[in-house]
Amino acid sequence: MNKKLSTLLLLGAMTLGASAQVTPYGWRGPQHNGYYPDKGLLASWPEEGPALVFETLDAGKGYSSPLVVGDKVYLTGMNEDQTQEVFQCYNLKGEKQYTVAYGNPWKQSFPETRTTPAIADGKAYVISGMGEIVCIDIADGKIVWKVDGGTKYERKTGMWGTSECPLVYDNKVIYTPCGDQTTMVALNKDTGEEIWKSRALGDKSGYVSPIMIEYKGKRQIISSTAANVIGVNPDNGDIEWTFDNWGPKFTGQPSRRDNIAPNSALYKDGKIFFCHGYDINGFQLQLADDLKSVSVTWRTETLDTHHGGYVLVNGKIYGSNWINNNDGAWCCVDWETGKTCYEEKWTGGAGKGSVIAADNKVFIFDERRGMVGLVNPATTDKLDVVSKFRVAKGSGPYWSHMAIDNGILYLRHGELFAAYKIRP
């Protein structure tokens, strides 16, 4: 990474309160919040969509996101007989450079690969659906080390196995097995040896990728199990606070299933936002100055994102909510107050989906029909889709989150991997 880009990423991380020690190459962008640093992007697209840079149908089954580092793109998927998860390297023309099998997929519902790699110091870190933590040399695709964390730490998961993208910072890789032995562990990123493990909460894991935040000069890992939002000391693994007044426990209503926690938190200036689907709804928490407790600042019944994430743009949270597994509306909620700015269906057969942002623009990806939309966030009283196009190739649900790098929008739909030019 060149010096100028390193400086820009560092300043961006400091602005949003994230830790500068976290690798900028990971889940949902360099700040791990769905916001990408690209500038000068197109204000609208041609009717047929932005120019196609490449598309290939050799990505394998999966819901993970592409990750661009320098002149290479990395993507996980499944091998042809779907018995192994694979790590794949492409050049910027979409030509595959190598493929390496690294782990076992989840054996039950929706086994397709879901981990987006984290990359630091020439190494990629991935977690398989069965909880194997793997370090891969990105120069040649060779496995450096591998730890069967699911077995070693007696993980306890819900019905979709492990769906966690690793957090890499300092010399550590984070994995959240949950269960009766521990909740979260840190492994040495060079050797795979255990550095620390937290106390057990006796809970199942969520499907959440943890983030690192900084507040009042102190760092903390923020994540969620199936029933607890947690704040963890990144140096020793102490769980410094838990919050469980959400989901069925808060509503007092019986649940058809466990709390389903699939989304990473948003963080800014000591405030944390989480929301999850199935009518669990959303909430904002205020961190205490000593980072030892949290309090609720507001709750929302509007925004209960299923698994498409959410972004913060100009003081507003954007994402979709859950009406049922096939449908949802797109929402805008005020960060400071929790007030609903709008809750609106995307017309034309589109439904809920995933969301990212860049250059004060919001990009949405409908999970039902594969519509990609460019949203103007300056319009805060209605869903203002400026441009759209449809991705017709590939198979399965459109669950992968998009990524942006150097004016290129990257997306995948099952075995389809495609890139579009969104900068003049």
Distance, C-alpha 76 to centroid of its chain: 14
The Cα–Cα gap between 415 and 261 comes to 26
- Using the predicted structure, report yes or no on whether residue 387 has a pLDDT greater than 50: yes
Max distance between CA atoms of the chain, in angstroms, equals 55
- Using the predicted structure, report yes or no on whether residue 15 has a pLDDT greater than 80: no
Q: Return the closest-CA partner of residue 381 out of 284, 313, 316, 327.
A: 316
Per DSSP, helices labelled H in 163-273 are 248-251
Q: How many residues comprise the chain?
A: 424
Q: What is the pLDDT of residue 5?
A: 37
How many C-alpha atoms does 147 have within 13 Å on its Cβ side? 21
The Cα–Cα gap between 368 and 392 comes to 11
The Cα–Cα gap between 247 and 224 comes to 13
* DSSP 3-state of 15: helix
| Span 217-235, pLDDT tens digits | 999 999 999 999 999 999 9
Average pLDDT rounded to a whole number, residues 53-80: 98
Q: Predicted confidence band at 315 (pLDDT cuts at 50, 70, 90)? A: very high
- Using the predicted structure, report yes or no on whether residue 23 has a pLDDT greater than 90: no
The Cα–Cα gap between 320 and 38 comes to 23
Q: Which of 115-129, 233-247, 256-270, 280-294 has the lowest mean pLDDT?
A: 256-270
Q: Predicted confidence band at 247 (pLDDT cuts at 50, 70, 90)? A: confident
Mean pLDDT for all residues in the chain: 93
Q: What is the pLDDT of residue 9?
A: 38
Q: Predicted confidence band at 253 (pLDDT cuts at 50, 70, 90)? A: low
- Using the predicted structure, report yes or no on whether residue 16 has a pLDDT greater than 60: no
Q: Work out the angle at residue 139's Cα, subtended by the Cα atoms of residues 134 and 141, and round it to the nearest 5 degrees.
A: 40
- Using the predicted structure, report yes or no on whether residue 252 has a pLDDT greater than 70: no
Q: Predicted confidence band at 276 (pLDDT cuts at 50, 70, 90)? A: confident
Token duo for residue 4: 């100028």
Neighbours of 155 (CB within 10 A): 22
| CA dihedral over 32, 35, 40, 44, signed as positive or negative | positive
Say what the pTM is: 0.94
| Span 323-338, pLDDT tens digits | 999 999 999 999 999 9
The Cα–Cα gap between 68 and 90 comes to 9
- Using the predicted structure, report yes or no on whether residue 19 has a pLDDT greater than 70: no
- Using the predicted structure, report yes or no on whether residue 254 has a pLDDT greater than 70: no
Q: What is the pLDDT of residue 131?
A: 98
The Cα–Cα gap between 303 and 39 comes to 28
Q: Return the closest-CA partner of residue 316 out of 270, 265, 254, 360.
A: 360
